[in-house]
A = this chain, B = another copy of it.
Amino acid sequence: MAQLQRLVITASQIDRQQIVLTAEQQHYLSRVLRLRSGDQFIAMNGQGQGWLAALESDRAQILEPIHAHSELSISVTLVLALPKGNGFDDVVRQATELGVTCIAPVISDRTLLNPSANKLERWRRIAQEAAEQCERQIVPEILDPVSWNDCLQIESSDSDICRLICLARGNSPHLLNYLNKSVCPSITLAIGTEGGWTDAEIEGAIAAGYQPISLGRRILRAVTAPIVALSLVAGVLERMKNEE
């Protein structure tokens, strides 16, 4: 069943045992994927539920629920200072592949440009497509961008989160050491822009409960650091499952 095509639908599209397809979804299934009437695909609501479905012109028949397990066992939020250029597209795509739950873009002191509403719309579409491709049940949420200070205030209200800020230089403990020694009910990872965080931003984060950590001895680009951090988080969570 793994090789079946996937499509994200909204809850309001479900009418008893049928899915009412939008014109765009009909086009995608019939013209792009070339499915015919009766062909099966997987419909996901993007929030953890999925169904095996069979195409029937402008609708699809729900055949059975699907129980898949490709999600991480805890919630992982990526707080990311917006990098320059189109780097964020790749980060959203790859972070989705690595199981991220939520991406919070922040405007830091070294962010060059505020993103347009079009960009946000684009990142949400990329997250949805990547979730379909990598066979996840959840589509990561992309929050509206806020300033770093606002982000620290929103975040600090929940004391159950392990909050980590990745620093390129200095002698912070390695993320893998931290993960091996800690039990985290959920994780927030904050990663800076090309120029790194400013001293004031790092001080603000530590005051708000963030622990500084290292991703290794080389200087990673802003688009690489989040993928490295999420690889280690997903690796530690899934290594444990793999051993059971």
Interface residues of chain A, those whose CB is within 8 Å of chain B, are 2, 69-70, 90, 93-94, 97-99, 133-136, 169, 173-177, 180, 214, 216-221, 224, 227-228, 231-232, 234-236, 238-239, 241-243
Contact = CB atoms under 8 A, between A and B. Distances in A.
Contacts of A173: 242
Contacts of A94: 221, 224, 227
Contacts of A169: 2
B218 A99 contact: yes
Contacts of A2: 169, 219
Given A135-B219, A219-B135, A235-B174, A214 B242 contact: yes
Given A70-B218, A97-B221, 11 more contacts: A2-B219, A94-B227, A97-B218, A97-B224, A133-B221, A174-B243, A176-B238, A214-B242, A216-B234, A228-B231, A228-B235
B97 A239 contact: no
Given A94-B224, A169-B2, A221-B97, A174 B133 contact: no
A231 B227 contact: yes
Contacts of A239: 174, 176-177, 180
24 contacts: A69-B217, A70-B217, A70-B218, A90-B90, A93-B221, A94-B221, A97-B218, A98-B218, A98-B224, A99-B218, A133-B219, A133-B221, A174-B239, A174-B242, A175-B235, A176-B235, A176-B236, A177-B242, A177-B243, A216-B235, A217-B238, A227-B231, A231-B231, A231-B232
A180 B232 CA distance: 13
Contacts of A238: 174, 176, 216-217
A220 B134 contact: yes
